[in-house]
């Protein structure tokens, strides 16, 4: 699905469309149907006077403390990873190349599980997906459902036969050992 991105900013005290075009895509080759696209980001101290920079063009897809990232992620059914011919090494290499800063947070011994130093607002816009946390606790989220995560260890599991698409807003946070 092609999505449009519109950027609106103030110029001379008037709002106007300053950029528009196709929203970025990041479709994987090694994991067919997986598309984790960073759409936008802000720095730790954003200003209402947009300087024309796309913060996520930095070497990491994760945000610094106080910064934000807007993601649209399509998850294929988990059966894609169980299909004959699926190459986990190729998938891991693609994660490392396309998702620097996030890929290193995935646990090799617990596929899919990861922890980020962010507060996340997660919204299911299409399909359904299972959110797994520590101890094997799970919740099935359906279209319109929202999860808010505070730096929680988790995994997304698409146990359905259809793709699931979510919007994620990540706010960089300081990790507390509480």
Going residue by residue through the chain, which has 178 residues, state the pLDDT in tens, using 9 for 90 and above: 679 999 999 888 899 998 899 999 999 999 999 999 999 998 888 888 887 777 666 668 999 999 999 999 999 999 999 899 999 999 999 999 999 999 999 998 999 999 999 999 999 999 999 999 999 999 999 999 999 999 999 999 999 999 999 999 999 999 987 6
pLDDT of residue 17: 93
Is residue 2 within 8 Å of residue 22, measured between CB atoms? yes
pLDDT of residue 47: 82
Tokens of 138: 């799970």
From 104, 159, 113, 157, select the one nearest 134 (Cα to Cα).
Answer: 113
Q: Beta-carbon neighbour count of residue 39 at 10 Å? A: 18
Domains of the chain (ranges, CATH numbers): 26-172 (2.60.120.10)
CA distance 116 to 107: 12
pLDDT of residue 55: 67
pLDDT of residue 22: 94
Question: Alpha helices, DSSP H only, in 24-170?
Answer: 79-82, 88-98
Give the three-class secondary structure for 124: strand
pLDDT of residue 50: 80
pLDDT of residue 56: 63
What is the biggest distance separating any 2 CA atoms in the chain, rounded to whole angstroms?
58
Is residue 79 within 8 Å of residue 91, measured between CB atoms? no
pTM of the model: 0.93
């Amino acid at each position: 699905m092609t999505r449009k991105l519109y950027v609106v900013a103030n110029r001379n005290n008037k709002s106007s469309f300053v950029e528009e075009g196709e929203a970025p895509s990041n479709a994987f080759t090694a994991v067919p149907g997986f598309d984790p696209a960073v759409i936008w980001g802000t720095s730790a101290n954003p200003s209402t006077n947009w300087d024309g920079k796309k913060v996520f063009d930095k070497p990491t897809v994760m945000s610094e403390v106080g910064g934000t990232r807007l993601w649209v992620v399509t998850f294929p059914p988990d059966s894609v990873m169980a299909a004959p011919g699926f190459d986990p090494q190729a998938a891991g290499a693609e994660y490392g190349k396309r998702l620097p800063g996030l890929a290193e947070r995935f646990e090799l011994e617990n596929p899919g599980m990861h922890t980020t130093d962010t507060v996340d607002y997660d919204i299911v816009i299409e399909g359904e997906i299972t959110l797994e946390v520590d101890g094997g606790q799970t919740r099935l989220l359906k279209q319109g459902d929202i999860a808010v995560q505070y730096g929680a260890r988790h995994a997304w599991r698409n146990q359905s036969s259809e793709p699931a698409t979510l919007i994620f807003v990540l706010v960089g946070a300081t990790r507390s050992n509480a």
